[in-house]
Amino acid sequence: MKEATLEGTRLPEVSPGEATPGEQVLESILAQRRVRAAHRCGRHILVEAEVPRPDRPVPVPFVLNYSIDTDGRWELARADGYAGAVCVRDDETYLYLGTAPDATDRQVIWQVRDGVSSLVLETGRGVVSFAAGENVVVAALWAGPGARSLAADDEEARRWRTTGESAAFPAGDVWPLLGHRVDGSVLRLARVRLDDHDAAPEACLLDISLPGDTGFTGQVAVTPDGRRCAAGVVRFIPDGHRRFGLYVFPVAEPGAGRHVWVDDIDLRAAVASPDGAWFACTGERVATPRQAPHQCVVFVAGDEQRVRTADHDDWLVPHAWHGDRTVLCLGEHDGRRLLRRVHLDGRVSAPLEVTGSVSAVTVAGDEALVVTSAISRPPEVVALPLGDGPVSVTGYAPAMQDFLEGRLVRRAFTAPDGSSWSGWLCLPPDEPVSPLPVLVWCHGGPVVSWTDWSWRWNPWPWVAEGYAVLMIDPPMSAGYGRDAVSRGWGQWLTEIARVAVQQVRGVIAADPVLDGTRVAVMGASLGGWLSIALATMMPEVRLVASHAGWVDSAAVARTCDLHWHWLREYGPPGDPAYARATAGLSGVGRSTRVLLSHGVRDGHVPVYEALGIHRELTAGGVDARLMIMPDEGHSIRRTGNVLAWFRWVRNACAETLKEPQ
């Protein structure tokens, strides 16, 4: 395993004068452990977190094993670096996905029993994911399509690595990324028996024949008794569309399974019930240009062709079962992500009492371990009792020390047509002497909202610099009912951008603290697109900061790796409907500065979009500037690049939003 220690993760000491107030806050934020999930394992709590390391460009994923004494004190018992995807087997045993013993980037499955690590599954091309039941593990891994055994495939993988060949010959659409298939491999399933504690685990490739247009997605779920498995599958349709379903099979007889396709609903991320009778899935209605998507819970029977659905407005996602007939789900609602019980009979209960927004939940017995945060509070682990007794919430991992200063205010806006839209306004702790310049933030997604803490789009460094940050949720944001999603679906300019303009102007006009003459708009992905669109519609915008944004939606749809999503919303790239998602640049005034940042490895929005926008704007006399990151994808992950982006945009804000003399 790769060795990684936890030294050096404390807050950096920044002397006054070395950095601006915003930089100090940002550097403190970037130095924190980023809690992702927590699991109960006997008297231990296993925390999955990303830990910043001074010798690594991006935070390192860790599994942190804490022992809890009778007084509730935490003590770090062990830390495994480059690790995640924990699966608890019993009070003393757990599995996780980590790196190979030779410290390559291949992922393998490790087991920790009584504090001792052992290798469960290592393959020549790497494991993608796994799920475990009683004495059995089912793993999704890369292997040759014709491989009969793992040993033979390992030999073929070694031979391929010596050829220097990097050509790939995908059939049809590329899934999931071209770089994953340069060795001719596809996603396969393997079974590992864990019956004998003293013997090495026995692994074998599963002989499952899928139709030629269907492949595994890498998502797997196994019933606790280890008898049945639900594996995610994707069907590639010749016109570029995709459908997502399940292959449910007996683990002992993998070829005797059945495909589960639900009319007009995609199935993803199955979670097995404790009795093994049901798999709870995230169901998403298959959208068309005339019908927006909607998310629900779908229950698929483990041994019969039975399917049930539980519908709700809150964009539900099942995470963990409590008992055999209730699953805990997360759902977006008015600026928060709530935790709800969803029952097999379709009932959806009132939200459980948890402060902030929930991002992850696991269940052991009558206790849920919940990761919760807020716009103003970083993630922490909370233990929540699920029994019939009184509710008492216990915080296990307190949030980072309180160095954030500011006020968080919920702002509602009623549009001229009577519709209501909301957002968050982040302000300095004290009332300002004069009105503040405003940074308008547009989220990506597209069907998400500003609900919780963000390590990347964090408003508090900007508040420390003296700005007000307005985080808007326009049409097609999650958490405001299906009508809000439908209103923006396929109507980006006429609904999303138009209402966003009204929302920004309405909030600013209603608050004397905000200076409507000094406005910047920022966002990433769809938020980058919307930032540029707002600049074409709002002459008061002085600065645009668009990361991974675009203008020509048809061009993006034609070349990106999410082609199938564009087909659902706007149809084929040649359809005239794409005009409703293309903001012409002629509306950007010459007095507006435009910052365009992009990762070269971005598959969702190719980097050439930023180059094209830059060329067109500069040719028209607009002050447009580029920041290209060769090592980044769709998001900015490298700590150095996050800081560089902040300084670049901060300097532009200081120059363009300064008070008139």
The token duo for 456 is 């990347």
Between 580 and 209, the higher pLDDT residue: 209
Distance CA 564, CA 173 (A): 9
Q: Write down the pLDDT at residue 102.
A: 83
Q: What is the pLDDT of residues 80-107, one digit of tens each?
A: 999 999 999 988 899 999 999 887 788 9
Q: Tell me the pLDDT tens digit for each residue of 490-512.
A: 999 999 999 999 999 999 999 99
pLDDT at 126: 92
pLDDT band at residue 166 under the 50/70/90 scheme = confident
| Beta pairing partners, 263 | none
Q: Confidence band (pLDDT; 50, 70, 90) for 240?
A: confident
pLDDT one-digit tens code per residue, 1-11: 333 333 333 33
Backbone Cα Rg of the chain:
25
Check if the beta carbon of residue 96 is closer than 8 Å to that of residue 110: yes
Q: Where are the beta strands (DSSP E) in 84-163?
A: 84-90, 93-99, 107-113, 116-121, 127-133, 136-143
Q: What is the pLDDT of residue 11?
A: 30
Q: Judge whether residue 172 has pLDDT over 80.
A: no
- The pLDDT score that the predictor gives to residue 8 is 31
Mean pLDDT of 244-260: 96
- Per-residue confidence (pLDDT) for residue 76, from 0 to 100: 92
Per-residue confidence (pLDDT) for residue 182, from 0 to 100? 57
pLDDT tens digits for 328-380?
A: 999 999 999 999 999 999 999 999 999 999 999 999 999 999 999 999 999 99
Q: What is the pLDDT of residue 16?
A: 46
- For residue 179, pLDDT beyond 70: no
Q: Name which of 528, 558, 562, 557 is nearest 545 in CA terms.
A: 528
Mean pLDDT, to the nearest integer, of 288-313?
Answer: 93
Choose among 279, 205, 274, 285: nearest CA to 247. 279
For domain 407-656, which architecture applies?
3-Layer(aba) Sandwich (3.40)
Residue 154's SS3 state is helix
CA pair distance 456, 340, nearest whole angstrom: 27
Q: How far apart are CA 267 and CA 254, in angstroms?
A: 20
Of 632 and 172, the one with more pLDDT: 632
Indicate the domain borders of the chain.
407-656
How sure is the predictor about 69, in pLDDT bands with cuts at 50, 70 and 90? confident
Report pLDDT for 186: 86
Distance CA 344, CA 326 (A): 6
* End-to-end alpha carbon distance in the chain: 60
Write down the pLDDT at residue 12.
35
Map 239-263 to HEC letters.
Answer: CCCEEEEEEEEECCCHHHCEEECEC
Per-residue confidence (pLDDT) for residue 167, from 0 to 100: 75
**Across all residues in the chain, what is the average pLDDT?**
91
The arithmetic mean of pLDDT across residues 388-398, rounded, is 69
253-268 pLDDT per residue, tens: 999 999 999 999 999 9
Per cent of the chain over pLDDT 90 is 79
Statement: residue 326 has pLDDT above 90: yes
Q: Which value, to the nearest 10 degrees, does the dihedral of the CA atoms of residues 501, 502, 503, 505 take?
A: 80
Q: Is the pLDDT of residue 196 over 70?
A: no
Please give the pLDDT value at position 13.
Answer: 39
What is the percentage of the chain residues whose pLDDT exceeds 70? 92
